[in-house]
Amino acid sequence: MGEKVVAGGSDLSDRQRYRQKLQQCLAGLGRLLAEKRFDRPKNLMGLEIELNLAGADGMPRMMNAEVLERIASRDFQTELGMFNLEVNVAPHRLGGHVFEQLAEELRTGLGYADRKSKELGAGIVMIGILPTLAQQDVVSANLSDVDRYMLLNDQIVTARGEDFTLDIDGVERLNCTAASITPEAACTSVQLHLQVTPARFADVWNAAQAVAAVQVAVGANAPFLFGRELWRESRPPLFQQATDTRPPELQAQGVRPRTWFGERWVESAYELFEENLRFFPSLLPICDEEDPLRVLDDGGVPSLHELVLHNGTVYRWNRPVYGVADGVPHLRVENRVLPAGPTVDDVIANAAFYYGLVRALAEEARPVWRRMPFADADANFETACRFGIDAELRWPRPGRNGGITTVPAVKLVRDELLPLAAAGLDAWGIEAGDRDHYLGIIEQRCKRRVNGSSWQVETFHRALEAGLDREAALAATTRRYIELMNHGDPVHTWPVAFPSPAERRAL
């Protein structure tokens, strides 16, 4: 949500006024679109990474306020849990050596943050879910001391009216309850932003939806939660259940969850904002003094405060974003599919694959969303979350005969999608050497059938076989992960031999 929200009560009239303001904002957005007021193409991308704090023992540290004070950089901000941080990278223009520049910025920034964290007995960990995180770590007392998180928690808890049920049936089953939204803080993600014109928005969003499953399959990095081995990418089911305002009765009626994949391809960005208003009640009914329609009448550009705030409480995996920069409105597609980590090179490889692929797919004469039912894209997303690098996905057959076939994700990526991603990066003007280096990381993951999740699982089971109990094996896996993450080589090169010499001496 990224903005200051002051905690305080709200009454029924606040919600009615907020609903009215939302409709005014939506009308304002419609006018901006009709009057073609949006920014011209700039090929701008942005990057955010959510991070964990853990000690040398691999266990979470509840000290983000102290760490942020020590880091003293506006690039780093709080996140939902006291064991979370977020780093924001300034927007960059896609082209040239942008990915190598991003990698260097991240190495520098994360390295500095890690050094400052270690002064306080913590360290930075890029991972989808910290394997050592326990249920007692995600209680309301460990919410970050920030008004917007406290208010959001209060509103979601009130809307639900009962404890949250976490029930994820994977390799093992997790079934427990939570009295707050804090379990959502376990999910640490990468958000990729792409500024687009209104005319291109629908094609880019549809392309991002189509490839979300592929992103998860090659990038999964969250197989454990509360000591259980679940899905290869356990963030999506956890995020949905930890923010679910629907009691079982509303779920049975088919009411949509606030965390969702969607249900159809779209023709415009307006449709997504309109759906968010139509389907989801407000959680933070905080009104701004701006009259968006009067601002437009006066020739100005409205901030659409209420629309932006409401949009931030609907957790689409590909989210539409409205923003204003230098007095000019713009639209972005925010891709929220990927887990954090394992290394900077892996994060940048995932980004290069995504930006190249959506560019190529959005410009195809017969785009994939005209050849594949949306239901297949939705089912693919769950399949990829469950099985990761071993997923088999539904995809249109090559050629003009049409039809859908089932294909291993690794084969689909290597045979069809990597060449498309390379062509898309060429269209962005990315230097060939950088293109080949980062897409090569994706290719090697597919060739070796290794990603962060598969490495974690194999290392964990090796630790069990070496005689460690479950808790010790998860901690040892986390410590080894941190060691290799800091070394920096991409995850497909990581050895899985266990125990390491240091761990063997400790046995």
Mean of pLDDT values over 425-439: 98
What is the average pLDDT score of the chain?
94
User: pLDDT tens across 109-123, in order?
Assistant: 999 999 999 999 999
pLDDT at 8 exceeding the cut of 70: no
pLDDT at 350 exceeding the cut of 70: yes
Nearest to 99 by CA among 342, 445, 421, 347: 347
Mean of pLDDT values over 408-413: 98
In this prediction, residue 499 carries a pLDDT of: 63
User: pLDDT tens across 360-385, in order?
Assistant: 999 999 999 999 999 999 999 999 99
In this prediction, residue 311 carries a pLDDT of: 96
For 461-487, the three-class secondary structure string (H helix, E strand, C coil) is: HHHHHCCCCHHHHHHHHHHHHHHHHHH
| Residue 15 confidence class, pLDDT cut points 50, 70, 90 | confident
Mean of pLDDT values over 41-60: 97
β-pairing, 123-125 vs 44-54, is: antiparallel
Whether the bond into 342 is cis, omega within 30 of 0:
yes
Nearest to 498 by CA among 444, 447, 459: 459
Q: How far apart are CA 246 and CA 507, in angstroms?
A: 47
Contact 472, 463 (CB under 8 A): yes
283-322 as b/e: b if 16+ CB within 10 A? bbbbeeebebeeebeeeebbbbbbbbbbbbbbbbbbbbbb
Q: Cα 9 to chain center, whole Å?
A: 30
Q: What pTM did the predictor assign? A: 0.95
pLDDT at 507 exceeding the cut of 60: no
In this prediction, residue 14 carries a pLDDT of: 79
Contact 491, 450 (CB under 8 A): yes
Instruction: Report which DSSP code applies to 407.
Output: E
User: pLDDT tens across 493-502, in order?
Assistant: 999 977 655 6
In this prediction, residue 10 carries a pLDDT of: 52
| Residue 205 confidence class, pLDDT cut points 50, 70, 90 | very high
Contact 333, 318 (CB under 8 A): yes
Q: How far apart are CA 229 and CA 172, in angstroms?
A: 5
- The helix (run of H) or strand (run of E) holding residue 236 is helix 235-242
pLDDT at 1 exceeding the cut of 90: no
User: pLDDT tens across 116-147, in order?
Assistant: 999 999 999 999 999 999 999 999 999 999 88
In this prediction, residue 188 carries a pLDDT of: 98
Lowest mean pLDDT among 6-20, 119-133, 331-345, 371-385: 6-20
470-495 as b/e: b if 16+ CB within 10 A? eebbbbbbbbbbbebbeeeebbbebe
Q: How far apart are CA 89 and CA 99, in angstroms?
A: 12
| Residue 7 confidence class, pLDDT cut points 50, 70, 90 | very low
User: pLDDT tens across 275-291, in order?
Assistant: 999 999 999 888 999 99
Q: Which two tokens stand for residue 268?
A: 């415009």
